[in-house]
Each structure stands twice: as structure tokens, then as C-alpha cells.
Structure 1
Amino acid sequence: MPDVRKAPLVVEFPFTRSLGPVQRAFLTGLRERVVLGVRTTAGRVLVPPAEYDPDTAEELHDLVPVAATGTVTTWAWNHAPRPGQPLTGPFAWALVRLDGADTALLGALDAPGPDAVRTGMRVRVRWAAERTGAITDIAC
């Protein structure tokens, strides 16, 4: 029998990321149940906010609040959630353009089944019971 060699594979991201003023404000806002976007030089509102304009590379600072309601722009059904995902039962991953934003935010959409989800449907943020200033402050 040939000598079988094996090595464990551990997938991890053992680093921390420092936050700039825009990301820090965004996460602090979530802790307070406020969603912030950032206005680009062309006037578009990006959510989640970026530190730099994706079109011009200029630094961005103009934070603006957007609504906690929005429209599903696209979605995919997750029939078998994996450990660590936001919901334990089946749910949809959805891109939601919050009212007042020009871009969509990815998040879990709690729905009873794929027939209950559609592009164009209106949704509202469900806040986590305990918020810590992380993206997980949006429960779904």
C-alpha cells in the first residue's frame, strides 16, 4: 500500500482590519440603528459606504443617512444554511437598495420560502437584539 500523506487545511483569516472614518461611522451608526451611506463626487449615495470614490478615486467624507427600508434588486435562495450564516433555517441572500441609496447592500432575507421572495419586493431591516457596531447588527 502506498504511503498516504495528508495535511490539515484550516481556512481562516487571522487578521484585524483598522477602520477609516467612513467605515467607523457606518458601523457606529448600525449600533445606533442608523444606516449611513457616503455621497460620491457625482452625487451618488453608496451603501455600504466606501472610503474612496469608485469612479474618481477621490477620498469620500460626506456621510448621509438612508432609510432602513428598501427594494430587493436580486436574490438567491439558500435552502441549506451553513454554520455561521446569519439564519439557521432556509433564507434568501438578497441585494437590497435601501431608500436614499444608489447601490445595494447584501444581506439575509428572512422569508418562509422562495415563493415569498421576488425582485422588487419591499423589505425592512430587522435589527439584532444586541448591537456591537458590526455588520451583524443587521440581523436580516
Structure 2
Amino acid sequence: MKPADSRIFAEEIESSLSNIINTADAFVAIDYNFCFLYLNQKAEKFYKKNRADLIGMKIEEVFPEHWNFGPFKNAIQSVVARKYVEINYNSPLANNSWVQLTGRPFENYYTLTYRSIDHKESLRKELRREVGKTKRA
């Protein structure tokens, strides 16, 4: 896809998915060749890259070190199969904080939403610790 086509498609995505895009979460739209079509401002912060530098680029070219990362490989399989996916993982892109990646297929693109769940993982660890203490007592 040419950069000009990507920009037009990004505008189409932005207008049709404005309620999702304007969320507090990082939101990305990619095509089925894994090229970035759209990123909101939160996604720019999450990826630590400017939107203009990513639109039209393949994810594998931008983040080769993460392409074979376990949770991301599962997400790739879901994109290829055009299926919904929800994965919780400790993200190296988010300073090793826990995120929930939600992927949704559409006819011409696939959306990825990254939501911070670090606080939930901290609570789970604390609960496991407390349950362990109770069992030992």
C-alpha cells in the first residue's frame, strides 16, 4: 500500500471507529500484510514512535526484535486467521508492564488495542501471596 493510500485509509478508519479510537487505550489499525494504517496518540506513546514514521510500515520491519516474541506470535496467528484475540502479557514495549492486547478483525483491516492491566497483575500477585500464607498457617 502506498503512503498516500495509507493516509486516506487512516482517515476512513478514524471516522468510522471514532468511539474506539478516542479511548484512553493505545489503538492501532493494521492491514492483513501487517502494515500500520492508523495509530492514536496513546499508541504513539506505547510504541515510542511517531505516527508519521509508522504509517505504511510493516510491523516486522519496525519491531523485528518483538516479531517472534511469544504473545505477539499468538496475535500474529489471530490476524492471519482473521479472528478475535485477547492476550494478557508483560510487554517489553510498555517498560515490562502488564497489558491486555485485544485484536479485532474487520473486512479490510485488523485493530489492536493495548490496555494497561499492571494494577490487576499486582493485585493477583498479592492475593497469591496471601493465600500462600494462609495455607502455610
**TM > 0.5 fold call:** no
Q: TM-score, normalised by structure 2?
A: 0.29
Q: TM-score, normalised by structure 1?
A: 0.29
Per residue, is there more helix in 1 or in 2?
A: 2
Larger Rg: 1
